[in-house]
Structure 1
Amino acid sequence: MNQQNKPLASNQFFLSIILMVAAGHLCNDFIQSMLTATYPLLEEKFSLTFAQIGGISLVYQMTASILQPAIGFYTDKHPKPYLLPLGMVATTFGLCMLGLANQFYWLLVAAAFLGVGSSTFHPEASRVARNASAGRFGLAQSAFQVGGNLGSSLGPLLVSLVVLKYNRQSHILWFVAVGVVAIILLSRISAWSAHHLRANAHKAAQSRALPYDKRKTVCALFILSVLIFSKYFYMASMNNYFSFYLIEKFALTKESAVLFLFMFLASVAIGTFVGGPIGDRIGRKYVIWFSILGAAPFTLALPYTNLWATVVLSCVIGLVISSAFAAIIVYAQELIPGRVGLIAGLFFGLMFGMSGIAAAILGYVADKTSLQLIFKFCSYLPLLGVLTVLLPDVERYKR
């Protein structure tokens, strides 16, 4: 009897499913990251300004953010497991358009399809990870998220080796195979999820009573949103402009700059995986506190250092600042029980939205001033982590 047909229990830990959904996240974010990784090539081929680059990121991030809360809200009441492969179809189509685009507005259309694919994928995939976790929510969310971070870090590395090295936009199409593999994988995950939902349909609906009153809950969500803003506004400067910053300040080649971007993104993946299990053990609030505010000394130092110190600091920043996201997602899900899809969609959407707005604003400011100025400005954002002290201790309340 295969795993898909076995009797399922809601408290059973399905490691294979968590690993599979993490692999699906890896494939999804691998393809998504190719957009920003090819910016140096696209900037040269289409004579793009930083504002236009920011505009591409804005289209991608906004389409990735606006739909996610709505999809999460709907699927909380009406789960749709087969949205997973359908989202990957949109992502793969966007990748094809990115490899074939011959005008700037086609790049915008490609970015929009990539964003739609992402907004369709994340809420349902996050629900699958939670359903397979047996209460180890931080571990499952971290494993799911680290898959995405690994994909985001591998994208620039392979783009550097396959696309930028030969300076050929058409080489992007080689990676369509990743999308096809992901569609097959996600179809299998969707079948498991549909079976899991049927097997547990007899259970009583999960309690949706809020642990705190509405005012305190809204205040906590607002603080989490500010922390997401500080984290992803800073991350937008790194994801979109760190390679350009290295080229401008240290006269690096495109290939070398993208490899250093890969090192930063790899450290983000490691930090993401560590944050969830630690949050399960010591509490989400403490992880959030350390992750946001703890990155501040390193971000403040980065704009004033030499090349190798910049690389080392970027890796430390990636390790520290990335550990918060899984903790924030699980904390918010415990703050509003029974709304897994809505919370995942809301915070993934907020992440993408903040990243897109930040990319557009920072690109415009960089055109008017300099990249070094925006990195100095962004270095102060992690200081907003001090607001974590105002968050209620959900774990203590539950105990």
Structure 2
Amino acid sequence: MITKTSVSPARAGGTLFSILFAVSLVHLLNDTIQSVVPAIFPIVKESLQLSYTQLGLIAFALNATASILQPAIGFYSDSKPKPYLLPLGMAATLVGVLGLALAGSFSVMLLSVALVGIGSAVFHPESAKIAYMAAGQRRGLAQSIFQVGGSTGQALAPIMTALIFVPLGQFGIIWFTIAAAAAIAIQTYTARWYSSQLRLRPAKRKLQQTAPTTTGSRRQVRFAVSILLLLVSTKMAYLAAITSFYSFYLIEHFQLPIGQAQWIVFGFLFAGAVGTFFGGAIADLWGRRNMIWFSIIAALPFALALPYVNVQLSVLFSIIIGLTIMSSGSVTVVYAQELLPGKVGTVSGLFFGLSFGMGGLSAAALGMLADATSIGFVIKLCALLPLLGLMTILLPSDTKLKQWSSQAEQSQVNL
């Protein structure tokens, strides 16, 4: 007798919400742990006497590790899936959390965040593939459920600073070993389901491996993927500025205490989590490209004005920007997956890896720039980044994307 969790979504045509909620919960735990790193910046800057450049390098170590490994793991897992890498990756994260709690130097901090980065590198491409497998016909919604866990975890960073790290200090990180242990347990469950799906559909996996990986002409697809990568890069650079340095701007410019500044950043990130969830569901009805367009156009005027408004409007504008600019996060990944059918792991690893890489590079570069100029200059400069989102106009229309997808499906049938 086949249990409910053994039914293939492709056969049943349905969406397995139990699996989607499981990977979303682990995404929340994983990204909450990741978010510990920028959350402790205001604390360790004083306790370890770190410069803005060193803070940027810590963020870079976390993101660069994940960025380099994620595409490689995604590419490898497309041909040789390894479900039980998922709990092993979270074990690396657990060791990294212990290191962060006990680190007494800059070098130990770097090593610890690298271990957390390794855990994330394993988690994202493989879990994105699980979400894809469990989606049925509702890929936008499924990817949103998966990514909203991560967005929510990121949103918790400023709250952790205000409620945990300000009163408890750096050692308060030790409590997050509980989150890592819970993630290992859930990953064992999802890995078991993933493994059962691989046994149920060997023929489909073989077909995917032999199917063409492009839909339109190679030049058109490469160009569209390049535009998507540019959009992700500029968005992550902007998010790095907000999550790593906007609290310092608020503290310096408005003389806010650390706790209040972190709550404003939380408003931005929590609104982003809401936008991530609804963006994917709306895109299933409205279209992928339309949703990407909306996320840029709706956020742009508020992003440009943010450095020049008073503290009250800063709160309001931060919420509006977070809600809109992050509403296309899951949509961009699904759009790319449909551009490159049969390479879900590779695409997911590439885009999540790029997100981490650009976040880390941007944090490091912006930290150096802040030391050389000022936090105010950095925030004003980054306000211009969403302008590059206007490149969305060059993406193929949803009608064209569906046409290419139909051609790819017909090619699979002809094989």
Q: 1:335 deviation in Å?
A: 0.5
Q: 1:258 deviation in Å?
A: 1.6
Find out whether 1:217 has 2:224 as its counterpart. no
Tell me what 2:247 maps to. 243
Q: 1:202 deviation in Å?
A: 3.3
Tell me what 1:264 maps to. 268
Find out whether 1:342 has 2:349 as its counterpart. no
Tell me what 2:150 maps to. 148
Q: 1:269 deviation in Å?
A: 0.4
Q: 1:7 deviation in Å?
A: 4.3
Query: Please, which of 377, 380, 386 is the counterpart of residue 382 of structure 1?
Result: 386
Query: Please, which of 302, 306, 313 is the counterpart of residue 309 of structure 1?
Result: 313
User: Which secondary structure state, in structure 2, belongs to the residue aligned with residue 252 of structure 1?
Assistant: coil
CA distance in 2, matches of 1:65, 1:314: 27
Identity of matched residues, %: 44
Q: Aligned Cα RMSD in Å? A: 1.5
Tell whether the 8 Å contact from 1:237 to 1:362 is kept in structure 2 after alignment.
yes
Query: Please, which of 70, 76, 79 is the counterpart of residue 78 of structure 2?
Result: 76
Tell whether the 8 Å contact from 1:64 to 1:115 is kept in structure 2 after alignment.
yes
Q: Give the counterpart letter for 1:50 in structure 2.
A: Y
Q: Give the counterpart letter for 2:215 in structure 1.
A: P
Tell me what 1:200 maps to. 201
Q: 1:277 deviation in Å?
A: 1.0
Within 5 Å, which residues of 2 pair with 1:1-399? 3=3, 6-10=6-10, 11-166=13-168, 168-203=169-204, 205-206=207-208, 207-393=211-397, 394-398=401-405
Deviations 1:322-346 (A, max 9, x none): 0112111011111010000000000
Tell whether the 8 Å contact from 1:231 to 1:292 is kept in structure 2 after alignment.
no
Tell whether the 8 Å contact from 1:29 to 1:148 is kept in structure 2 after alignment.
yes
Structure 1, unaligned stretches of length 5 or more?
none
Deviations 1:347-399 (A, max 9, x none): 00111111111101111111111111111111111111211111112135446
Q: 1:275 deviation in Å?
A: 1.0
CA distance in 1, matches of 2:167, 2:377: 29
Tell me what 2:412 maps to. none
Tell whether the 8 Å contact from 1:293 to 1:384 is kept in structure 2 after alignment.
no
Q: Give the counterpart letter for 1:205 in structure 2.
A: L
CA distance in 1, matches of 2:339, 2:333: 10
Tell whether the 8 Å contact from 1:61 to 1:353 is kept in structure 2 after alignment.
yes
Runs of 4+ in 1 over 2 A off after TM superposition: 1-12, 206-209, 395-399
TM-score between both structures, scaled by the size of structure 2: 0.93
Q: 1:209 to 1:169 in 2, by over 3 A?
A: closer
Q: 1:213 to 1:102 in 2, by over 3 A?
A: same
Q: 1:5 to 1:139 in 2, by over 3 A?
A: closer
Structure 2, unaligned stretches of length 5 or more?
407-415
Q: 1:6 deviation in Å?
A: 4.0
CA distance in 2, matches of 1:136, 1:122: 19
User: Which secondary structure state, in structure 1, belongs to the residue aligned with residue 256 of structure 2?
Assistant: coil
Q: 1:12 deviation in Å?
A: 3.4
Q: 1:7 to 1:268 in 2, by over 3 A?
A: closer
Q: Matched residue pairs, number? A: 398
